């Protein structure tokens, strides 16, 4: 089924078209939700809520830009709203330094590289993780993040700095990060 056919079918509220749209985009969108959620169940709840919004607002998609990008935008905002509703950001605490962390070993079961990186992101506290997702992956500016999360732009910057530092440390320990911190590139492992 082509994208145009799917869109028209969704506008006509046809279950077949709606399911086709869902099957095409839900795996990647669930991956997006998983980066924001506390666990898989929460991620699926966010996905469900997000897709319901997608179907209800499908008439607003004018064709400018990719459909996947439009859906992803709705999904991300749904995830953020869900986190704000559950007041997860109140748990964020300033990290002055992470020197208190002690890691005795650094091995985890082998996984696909992408899943490794995502799992490392999910280890971060929810506040750091959200800012990191929005800035580094979704591409929002700190000003936009401040508006979305209702925090100061400076808070977003400091949260991101600390989140990145902690993530880099985790990635190094997991032997995913290979280069020095100032020129970091995540290694690709075949």
Distance CA(50)–CA(37), nearest Å, equals: 13
- In the complex, minimum distance from the CB of residue 174 to other proteins, in angstroms, rounded to a whole number: 10
Q: How many residues does the chain have?
A: 190
Part in contact with other proteins (CB under 8 A); list of ranges 1-9, 28-36, 78-86, 149-157: 28-36
Part in contact with other proteins (CB under 8 A); list of ranges 1-9, 11-19, 79-87, 149-157: 11-19
Dump the DSSP string for 59-120. Answer: GG--SSS-HHHHHHHHHHHHHHHHHHHTTGGGG----S--TT---S--------HHHHHHHH
Phi, psi angles (nearest 5°) of residue 186 = -75, 130
Residue with tokens 């100032």: 182
CA distances from 111 to 107, 175, 176, 189 (A): 11, 13, 11, 11
Part in contact with other proteins (CB under 8 A); list of ranges 1-9, 19-27, 78-86, 149-157: 19-27
- In the complex, minimum distance from the CB of residue 2 to other proteins, in angstroms, rounded to a whole number: 21
Q: Which of 64, 114, 180, 190 binds other proteins (CB under 8 A)?
A: 114
Chain contacts with other proteins (rule: CB under 8 A): 13, 15, 18-19, 22, 26-28, 30-31, 34-35, 39-40, 43-44, 47-48, 51-52, 55, 69, 73, 76, 91, 93, 95-98, 100-108, 113-115, 117-118, 121, 123-125, 133, 135-141, 144, 164, 166, 168, 183-186
């Amino acid at each position: 089924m082509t994208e145009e056919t799917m869109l028209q079918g969704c506008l006509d509220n046809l279950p077949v078209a709606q399911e086709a749209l869902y099957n095409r985009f839900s795996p990647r969108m669930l991956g997006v939700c998983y980066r924001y959620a506390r666990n898989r169940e929460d991620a699926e709840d966010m996905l469900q809520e997000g897709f319901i919004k997608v179907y209800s607002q499908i008439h607003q998609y004018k064709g400018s830009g990719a459909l996947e990008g439009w859906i992803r935008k709705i999904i991300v905002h749904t995830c953020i709203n869900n986190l704000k509703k559950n007041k997860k950001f109140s748990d964020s605490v300033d990290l002055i330094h992470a020197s208190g962390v002690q890691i005795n070993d650094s091995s985890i079961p082998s996984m696909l590289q992408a899943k490794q990186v995502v799992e490392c992101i999910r280890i971060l506290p929810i506040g750091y993780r959200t800012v990191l997702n929005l800035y580094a992956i979704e591409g929002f500016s700190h000003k936009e993040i401040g508006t979305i999360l209702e925090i100061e732009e400076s808070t977003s910057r400091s949260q991101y700095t600390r989140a990145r530092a902690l993530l880099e440390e985790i990635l190094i320990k997991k032997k995913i990060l290979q280069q020095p911190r100032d020129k970091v590139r995540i290694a690709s492992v075949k």
